[in-house]
A and B are shown apart, each in its own frame.
Chain A
């Protein structure tokens, strides 16, 4: 809403400069975005909240100025000479749908000279962004901007039988509105009709056929009140928002209808030398008594926490039209705790219906800055999210491993999501997406990760390590489901070339190593061979947590609740590996890309379990001894198999078994490979002797020979 400073001054003495007024109004809740200068004087651009339709006119804003300046609001004074012929005899008004139209007033003006408006009027309208049309239409707009009440003028001679019927539109009824558009109406829409057809959409826009033109002689001036919800529905359905619909849908003042009509008739009479017929035809089914309200100091204190003096309460509520009247028995005592005021709701403030609404009125004009700030003591311990700790550890470990955290928009492209979506997952689709490529809630974070990698690669960033802690979405048994996940993506160099080191590409082993470092937080991951459709068939795998025993896990799910779930040992929680060429191609990823994702619920649960079970392990006082075994194995034999065979020997002194070198070719026969296994022995009780060590070694070698057909490679 735009407000002219000089226009306000017609209703109230304004003891502030426009800039001061901007600040003052903002501090009582009438936000002013800025002040500009127009040929009609300084202009305030208001950013009104939707609950204040009373400020959609200069008079309503003047009332706020009067209240904050403690100045008097001048009444709207109207001198309206009428001819003796009565309006009631010249027209008739019926309201068939009182649920949609609560009041309809008609005034009649004869012998109008429709012509261009005078300069002063055009200037004001134009400053407020309203095009000048002719003096009759301009008068309705002028009064709307002044008093906040929309009106409409009909060419009386074009109304069949010169009468008005306010009714629901007939199904499929057509009307050409003032903007020249032919519209088809539904039965929910309230129309203003004459004896034959709809001549306007009630509260939204008039019809073209009864429009005021320069040939118009006689005018029927409508000033009505429409139900806000019905206006809102119709305006939405028709895709038509107007100055009128905005005011009616927020709740115009039904009492203002008649006053605005009178004011407008007086203006048209003056501008267009018209005769005004006597009286007004006023059908007012929605008339009701003003709503009684009450304010007590006790409640004001309970909500606001500080006392406001009696005089302030009474001045403020009085200025805003609430007519406060002290009703308690302690009237003589100033600022009594028992003070109560009986008030009534002014017709222009239908947003104020309760005591708390009155409290807000008092508080905002008293000044929110006058309430002292206090801190309240906490009565309960504060807690972080149930999964905050494992998430912190996970995040700090990923960051330490060089991964940069990302945050992405979970709305993704349906086809791209399908590239990663596990079989049998029903995705959560958006019914009203804004764009094709954001029509689905992602069923995994991998699709967002592929995008983030592509974005950076396209911008010259060749070596990337990214992670996201987020959610995946799906529909399960007809209901949407959200799951906490972590997604990892990497490409380019694992190590940059430097003075001390040579460059090396990021490879599957980097991904696996990093995942295992993370998995160690929750007791470790166990890798399995099967690959998913998005994964390269050779360099990828899936993993479970190395909690072998089936059992129950307390998992915190998205939404903060914790849930007990059955967790059979070996249940997969994630997958990692190189992105399949087929999928990489779709994202135009032209270098090797590695991705991984796993569920956070079970990970968090096992992190917590492991954390609670932590105990100190004594450190042996005796030296550890290392031995290397250079094995020739058949292709397909896994390191895991080697470890199993060694573990089966039950040699307690073995404290670690590592693989430190692997190669094929050279002097290794085809179908075989060489694996260098590094074993560390240590006892807690004694220094191991050469004899013990060679016994261990020979047992290990012969077991590997027998179980795996391994041969010891001699240098």
Chain B
């Protein structure tokens, strides 16, 4: 409507409007004009120019009307011009507002269709490492025994034959030495002989030499055996030794502790069985078995169809050991155990080759985050 710019630059008088009806007609025409304009505004930019055209402070339609029509209106038309102007302003403001809402909604809808992130795409992944499985098993064992009041101590891997054997009641020609083939160190002439400990048990002796009962310790660490490596043997493996000595520690406390450990480690369904055995530094000695968690005791390959799996060796400390550390064997008693960390991990996670623990293949290690 090219004439609108024209119309609003003139006064009512110049337009020849002299009756209220004519005033109303002019405003109706303007309202129709606004309606036409709004149908063509489809985006934010055209909405802004529409707003400026109608509500702009200097040259907006409504401002012009105020300047040209209202201010110069004859007194008899002033009320109707004023009212019509207010109505038109309200209409325009309302129209612009709803137009803005619908334009924003349409824009958002379009954006959603175009830009929404594909939630199936990966985020930025920073690499994370993890603890070695053997370490995790160590920590789990430590957690269980700390909760029972055991203190963690460590020992040297390089030991003297005295601590590894003699003080544990394994004299030089004892047949038990056959089961613990030993690496010896090649030291300069005149040095004391040393070996790589075959078990973590020497720390029993070191601890009792330094400390009077009550003693309650666990000893995590590496041990060495001169065995040819295969799926169940490694030069090196890991143990957690345990020792509790006091004036009131009996086989029943030993049994309670071992059963608690097995339930915590393998789950509350695991049953424990103690089977008499032999170790030179415990008497009575036992093997601790757990009910087979593959077949639930019915018999399978893993348990050699016995329903039980051998977990570790243990027993009441042999009084001969107390003799080496000046404990009074008639007053104190206690128990000791030696957990094979690699074996326990193998059993718990179904790992058929112990070498996997030492090859450090990340495809293995990453399976246990």
Closest CB of chain A to B240's CB: distance in Å? 12
Chain B contacts of A429 at CB under 8 A?
185-186
Q: A356 near B: Cβ within 8 Å?
A: yes
Q: A330 near B: Cβ within 8 Å?
A: no
For B250-265 the 0/1 string (1 means CB < 8 A from A) is: 1111011111100000
> 8 Å CB contacts to A: which residues of B130-147?
130-132, 134-135, 142, 145-146
Q: A34-B304, A379-B246, A399-B128 are in contact. Are A407 and B226 (CB under 8 A)?
A: no
Whether B256 pairs with A373 at a CB distance below 8 angstroms is yes
Of A359-367, A545-553, A656-664, the one touching chain B? A359-367
Q: A287 near B: Cβ within 8 Å?
A: no
Chain A contacts of B185 at CB under 8 A?
428-431, 441, 480
Q: B275 near A: Cβ within 8 Å?
A: yes
Chain B contacts of A431 at CB under 8 A?
183-186
Q: A455 near B: Cβ within 8 Å?
A: yes
Of A161-169, A458-466, A603-611, A612-620, the one touching chain B? A458-466
Whether B286 pairs with A404 at a CB distance below 8 angstroms is no
Q: A356-B319, A371-B252, A411-B235 are in contact. Are A382 and B360 (CB under 8 A)?
A: no
Whether B134 pairs with A407 at a CB distance below 8 angstroms is yes
Which residue from chain A places its CB closest to the CB of B207 in the assembled complex? A560
Closest CB of chain B to A155's CB: distance in Å? 33
Q: A374 near B: Cβ within 8 Å?
A: yes
> 8 Å CB contacts to B: which residues of A223-262?
228-229, 232-233, 249-250
Q: How large is the interface on B (under 10, 10 to 19, 20 to 34, 35 or more residues)?
A: 35 or more
Which residue from chain A places its CB closest to the CB of B175 in the assembled complex? A50
Q: B114 near A: Cβ within 8 Å?
A: no
Closest CB of chain A to B133's CB: distance in Å? 9
> 8 Å CB contacts to B: which residues of A548-570?
558-560
Whether B156 pairs with A558 at a CB distance below 8 angstroms is yes
Q: How far, in angstroms, from A500 to B236 measured CA to CA in the complex?
A: 45
Q: A303-B316, A305-B250 are in contact. Are A378 and B149 (CB under 8 A)?
A: yes
Of A25-33, A172-180, A208-216, the one touching chain B? A25-33
Q: How far, in angstroms, from A354 to B122 measured CA to CA in the complex?
A: 70
> 8 Å CB contacts to B: which residues of A7-42?
22-23, 26-29, 31, 33-34
For B280-314 the 0/1 string (1 means CB < 8 A from A) is: 00011111000000000000000011100000000
Which residue from chain A places its CB closest to the CB of B177 in the assembled complex? A232
Q: A368-B275, A411-B236 are in contact. Are A382 and B124 (CB under 8 A)?
A: no
Q: A479 near B: Cβ within 8 Å?
A: yes
Q: A371-B252, A384-B146, A430-B185 are in contact. Are A499 and B122 (CB under 8 A)?
A: yes
Whether B187 pairs with A478 at a CB distance below 8 angstroms is yes
Other-chain contact of B128, A23, A376, A381, A402 (Cβ < 8 Å): A402
Q: How far, in angstroms, from A441 to B187 measured CA to CA in the complex?
A: 12
Q: B194 near A: Cβ within 8 Å?
A: yes
Whether A49 pairs with B129 at a CB distance below 8 angstroms is no
Whether B216 pairs with A382 at a CB distance below 8 angstroms is yes
Q: A403 near B: Cβ within 8 Å?
A: yes
Q: How far, in angstroms, from A165 to B157 measured CA to CA in the complex?
A: 49
Other-chain contact of A430, B128, B157, B186 (Cβ < 8 Å): B186
Which residue from chain B places its CB closest to the CB of A361 in the assembled complex? B284
For B157-190 the 0/1 string (1 means CB < 8 A from A) is: 1100000000000000101101100011111101
Closest CB of chain B to A427's CB: distance in Å? 10
Chain A contacts of B196 at CB under 8 A?
430, 441
Q: B362 near A: Cβ within 8 Å?
A: yes
Which residue from chain B places its CB closest to the CB of A378 in the assembled complex? B149
> 8 Å CB contacts to A: which residues of B320-369?
333, 357-363, 365-366
Q: How far, in angstroms, from A218 to B216 measured CA to CA in the complex?
A: 66
> 8 Å CB contacts to A: which residues of B86-130?
121-122, 124-130
Q: How far, in angstroms, from A403 to B251 measured CA to CA in the complex?
A: 44
Chain A contacts of B259 at CB under 8 A?
373
Q: A395-B131, A452-B360 are in contact. Are A382 and B274 (CB under 8 A)?
A: no
Q: B27 near A: Cβ within 8 Å?
A: no
Whether B363 pairs with A382 at a CB distance below 8 angstroms is no
Q: A368-B276, A382-B149 are in contact. Are A401 and B362 (CB under 8 A)?
A: no
Chain B contacts of A559 at CB under 8 A?
154-156
Chain B contacts of A403 at CB under 8 A?
129
Q: A402-B126, A461-B363 are in contact. Are A376 and B249 (CB under 8 A)?
A: yes
Closest CB of chain B to A133's CB: distance in Å? 28
For A379-422 the 0/1 string (1 means CB < 8 A from B) is: 11111110010000001001111111111111100000000000
Q: A482 near B: Cβ within 8 Å?
A: yes
Q: A498 near B: Cβ within 8 Å?
A: yes
Whether A303 pairs with B362 at a CB distance below 8 angstroms is no
Chain A contacts of B269 at CB under 8 A?
none
Chain B contacts of A229 at CB under 8 A?
173
Chain A contacts of B156 at CB under 8 A?
480, 482, 558-559
Whether B176 pairs with A479 at a CB distance below 8 angstroms is no
Whether B251 pairs with A404 at a CB distance below 8 angstroms is no
Q: How far, in angstroms, from A448 to B185 measured CA to CA in the complex?
A: 20
Whether A479 pairs with B365 at a CB distance below 8 angstroms is no
Whether B148 pairs with A375 at a CB distance below 8 angstroms is yes
Whether B251 pairs with A430 at a CB distance below 8 angstroms is no
> 8 Å CB contacts to B: which residues of A415-452?
426, 428-434, 438, 441, 452
Q: Kindly name the residue among A301, A304, A398 whose own CB sees the greatest number of chain B CB atoms within 10 A.
A: A304
Q: A119 near B: Cβ within 8 Å?
A: no
Of A134-142, A467-475, A673-681, A685-693, the one touching chain B? A467-475
Q: A385-B154, A434-B228, A500-B124 are in contact. Are A376 and B129 (CB under 8 A)?
A: no
Other-chain contact of A356, B194, B318, B365 (Cβ < 8 Å): B318
Whether B360 pairs with A455 at a CB distance below 8 angstroms is yes
Q: A466-B360, A498-B122, A558-B156 are in contact. Are A406 and B284 (CB under 8 A)?
A: no
Other-chain contact of B273, A369, A371, A378, A482 (Cβ < 8 Å): A369
Closest CB of chain B to A353's CB: distance in Å? 10
Q: How far, in angstroms, from A380 to B234 measured CA to CA in the complex?
A: 37
Q: Kindly name the residue among B128, B287, B319 whose own CB sees the greatest number of chain A CB atoms within 10 A.
A: B128
Whether B151 pairs with A383 at a CB distance below 8 angstroms is yes
Chain A contacts of B154 at CB under 8 A?
385, 558-560
Q: How far, in angstroms, from A187 to B183 measured CA to CA in the complex?
A: 28
Other-chain contact of B153, A356, A407, A560 (Cβ < 8 Å): A560
Chain B contacts of A373 at CB under 8 A?
252, 255-256, 258-259
For B189-205 the 0/1 string (1 means CB < 8 A from A) is: 01110101000000000
Q: How far, in angstroms, from A428 to B196 measured CA to CA in the complex?
A: 11
Q: A249-B175, A378-B148 are in contact. Are A405 and B250 (CB under 8 A)?
A: no
Q: How far, in angstroms, from A464 to B361 measured CA to CA in the complex?
A: 10
Closest CB of chain B to A229's CB: distance in Å? 4
Which residue from chain A places its CB closest to the CB of B273 in the assembled complex? A369
Q: B9 near A: Cβ within 8 Å?
A: no
Chain B contacts of A399 at CB under 8 A?
128-131
Whether A410 pairs with B190 at a CB distance below 8 angstroms is no
Chain A contacts of B274 at CB under 8 A?
368-369
Q: B222 near A: Cβ within 8 Å?
A: yes
Q: A83 near B: Cβ within 8 Å?
A: no
Given contact pairs A429-B186, A558-B157, a sample of 15 additional A-B residue pairs in the complex whose CB atoms are under 8 Å apart? A369-B274, A378-B149, A384-B152, A385-B154, A388-B152, A398-B129, A402-B129, A405-B130, A409-B235, A411-B224, A434-B235, A466-B362, A467-B129, A475-B187, A480-B187
Q: Can you name 23 A-B pairs with beta carbons within 8 Å?
A: A29-B275, A50-B178, A229-B173, A303-B250, A303-B251, A305-B250, A359-B284, A378-B216, A380-B214, A385-B154, A402-B128, A408-B360, A411-B224, A429-B186, A432-B184, A434-B228, A438-B235, A441-B185, A465-B129, A480-B187, A482-B158, A558-B157, A560-B154
State the 6 A-B residue pairs at the shortest beta-carbon distance, nearest first: A378-B149, A305-B250, A29-B276, A49-B278, A305-B252, A402-B127
Q: Which residues of B contact A (CB under 8 A)?
A: 121-122, 124-132, 134-135, 142, 145-146, 148-158, 173, 175-176, 178-179, 183-188, 190-192, 194, 196, 214, 216, 222, 224, 226, 228, 234-236, 244, 246, 248-253, 255-260, 273-278, 283-287, 304-306, 316, 318-319, 333, 357-363, 365-366
